[in-house]
């Protein structure tokens, strides 16, 4: 029996068999919760291989991939230049625990594209980068309190697993067991895009704030842009009160524009630049690599020259940096972002047209190779609104698309990702599959 002739029942069984086997040895059967399909129900697909815009599950069923490892695979899977760079690097050695020229090259390449940073330090995950950025902000300012916004995810450092307390005078409550309330007592959580609340919070706590951290285009509540006035006011208040404004661009970095989301905002706010930036995902091209950086005066507080400790056995790993460098080289080619944006826009407008034709409320938005869509008539401005999405409708859409070989994020609060490998035909197939599914909702 060739894989192509296998029945869908057999297909479901192989993924299910793996999931059941996994659940015996890995909590929940997965190494990161969203992979378990808990939000949408059903059996997670176990990926066996990927190429270009597609991956195949344990039964050899093909999917058009719109998660791209949650962002890193901006070139699609198995890009020849990336494969070659990684193979070459592997032959030279996996890890040394001593500095390499490639780390310097990658740091230079990142700084050349994101001029708000004078220096950068490489780490292995976005969580590590975000956690280190906060420690550095606290060390550099000598202040303890930090401000974040509801719906923004900055990794799972203890101080960030927090939801708003009651009222602006109180700080957060933990959202995870194992995080003592004392650990989040310095974290203030505000509503995204709410300028009034922001002003109020600064009046109360401004002089004690080490930093304000934000996902400028939030991809962890589907796709919600911070408004230009909101970013502008955050920046002004940080300057006025001596807090650092930290852009978490782990998802948006090199995903939405060559200069990342800060370039998008600088088009509307002349001279705008965050004080610090956190990067991940695309800069590793699919290998474990992340970074945080900022102005020299801030970054020089880091060990070994400064008093803020931060370290990592595999930081700046030679194979990961080869992968990241090769990725940055490809996305630096002329017209890369124009092509990518055009594809993303055509997907979002195709989906919107098909949904409207089926009489559904629907809207979407995108920037570069990142997109989101909602079963609403207007784009939401904050997390509370995103979470009013009808779960049943979203889940039926997700599974209808999955059955038709299109893999969107298995949760209504996650963004989607286009790659350079997606073709117009892939997008047309996606839209016609969606047109069928929309009619059934």
Ligand X SMILES: *Cc1c(COP(=O)(O)O)cnc(C)c1O
Catalytic center residues: 153, 248, 281
Secondary structure element (H or E) that encloses residue 132, with its range? helix 126-141
Q: What's the helix, strand, coil split of the chain in %, to 5?
A: 45, 15, 40
> Does residue 280 belong to the site contacting ligand X (CB under 6 A)?
yes
Q: Does 220 bind ligand X (CB under 6 A)?
A: yes
Of 139 and 155, the one with the shorter C-beta distance to ligand X is 155
Q: Applying CB under 6 A, which of residues 29, 68, 130, 369 lies at the interface with ligand X? A: 130
Residue 67 CB, shortest distance to ligand X, in Å, is 12
Among 67, 250, 370, 409, binds ligand X (CB under 6 A): 250
Interface with ligand X (CB under 6 A), residue from 127, 222, 310, 395: 127
Which has the closest alpha carbon to 64: 405, 403, 317, 416?
405
Closer by beta carbon to ligand X, 103 or else 249: 249
Q: Are strands 62-65 and 406-407 parallel, antiparallel or unpaired?
A: parallel
User: Could you give the 3-state DSSP secondary structure of residue 95?
Assistant: coil
Name which of 185, 197, 206 is nearest 150 in CA terms: 197
Q: How far is CA 417 from CA 223, 371, 422, in A?
A: 11, 6, 10
User: In DSSP terms, which residues pair with 291 in a beta bridge?
Assistant: 122, 279
Q: Which of 219, 259, 274, 286 binds ligand X (CB under 6 A)?
A: 219
155 binds ligand X (CB under 6 A): yes
- 426 part of the interface to ligand X, by CB under 6 A: no
Q: How far is the CB of 95 from ligand X (least distance, A)?
A: 18
Name every residue whose Cβ is closer than 8 Å to that of residue 7 and which is 6 or more positions away in sequence: none
Pick the binder of ligand X from 215, 365, 367, 414 (CB under 6 A): 215
Contact 371, 411 (CB under 8 A): no
Task: Kindly tell me which of 131 and 433 has the beta carbon lying closer to ligand X.
Answer: 131
d(Cα 250, Cα 258) in Å, to the nearest integer?
A: 14
> By CB under 6 A, is residue 154 in contact with ligand X?
yes
Q: Is 159 in the site for ligand X (CB under 6 A)?
A: no
Residue ranges in 285-324 that form contacts with ligand X under rule CB under 6 A: 290
Q: How far apart are CA 156 and CA 9, in angstroms?
A: 37
Q: Which is nearer to ligand X, 157 or 273 (CB)?
A: 157
- Sheet architecture: strand order including 363-367: 363-367, 370-374, 416-417
The correct pick among 125, 132, 187, 344 for binding ligand X (CB under 6 A) is 125
Closer residue to ligand X in complex, CB, 113/434: 113
Does residue 174 touch ligand X according to CB under 6 A? Answer: no
β 187-190/209-214 pair status? unpaired
* Exposure on the CB side of residue 251, measured as CA atoms within 13 A: 29
Considering the complex, state which of residue 131 and residue 351 has its C-beta at the smaller distance from ligand X: 131
- Among 138-146, 188-196, 247-255, 373-381, which window interacts with ligand X (CB under 6 A)? 247-255
Binding stretches for ligand X (CB under 6 A): 125-127, 130, 153-155, 215, 219-220, 248, 250-251, 280, 290
């Amino acid at each position: 029996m060739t894989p192509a002739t296998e029945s869908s029942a057999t297909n479901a069984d192989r993924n299910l068999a793996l999931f059941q086997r996994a659940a015996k040895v890995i909590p929940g059967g997965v190494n990161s919760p969203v992979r378990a399909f808990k939000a949408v129900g059903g059996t997670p697909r176990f990926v066996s291989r990927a190429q270009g815009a597609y991956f195949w599950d344990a039964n050899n069923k093909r999917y058009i991939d719109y998660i791209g490892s949650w962002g890193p695979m901006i070139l699609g899977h198995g890009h020849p230049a990336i494969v070659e760079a990684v193979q070459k690097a592997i032959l030279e050695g996996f890890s040394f625990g001593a500095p390499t020229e490639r780390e310097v090259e990658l740091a230079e390449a990142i700084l050349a594209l994101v001029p708000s940073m004078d220096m950068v330090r490489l780490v292995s995950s976005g969580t590590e980068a975000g956690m280190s950025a906060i420690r550095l902000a606290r060390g550099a300012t000598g202040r303890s309190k930090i401000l974040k916004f509801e719906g923004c995810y900055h990794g799972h450092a203890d101080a960030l697993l927090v939801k708003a307390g009651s009222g602006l005078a109180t700080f957060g409550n933990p959202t995870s067991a194992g995080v003592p309330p004392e650990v989040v007592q310095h974290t203030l959580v505000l509503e995204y895009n709410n300028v009034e609340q922001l002003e109020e919070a600064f009046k109360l706590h401004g002089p004690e704030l080490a930093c304000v951290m934000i996902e400028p285009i939030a991809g962890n509540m589907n796709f919600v842009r911070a408004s230009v006035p909101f970013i502008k006011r955050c920046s002004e208040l940080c300057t006025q009160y001596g807090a650092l404004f930290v852009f978490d661009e782990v998802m948006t970095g090199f995903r939405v524009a060559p200069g990342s989301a800060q370039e998008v905002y600088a088009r509307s706010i002349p001279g705008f630049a965050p004080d610090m930036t956190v990067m991940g995902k695309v800069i590793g091209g699919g290998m474990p690599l992340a970074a945080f950086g900022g102005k020299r005066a801030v970054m020089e507080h880091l060990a070994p020259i400064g008093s803020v400790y931060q370290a990592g056995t595999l930081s700046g790993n030679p194979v990961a940096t080869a992968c990241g460098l090769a990725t940055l080289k490809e996305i630096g080619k002329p017209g890369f972002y124009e092509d990518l944006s055009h594809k993303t826009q055509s997907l979002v407008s195709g989906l919107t047209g098909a949904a409207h034709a089926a009489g559904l409320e629907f809207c979407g938005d995108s920037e570069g190779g990142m997109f989101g869509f909602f079963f609403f008539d207007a784009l939401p401005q904050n997390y509370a609104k995103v979470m009013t999405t009808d779960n049943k409708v979203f889940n039926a859409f997700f599974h209808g698309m999955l059955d038709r070989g299109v893999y969107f994020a298995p949760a209504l609060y996650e963004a989607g990702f286009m790659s350079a490998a997606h073709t117009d035909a892939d997008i047309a197939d996606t839209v016609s599959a969606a047109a069928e599914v929309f009619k059934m909702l």
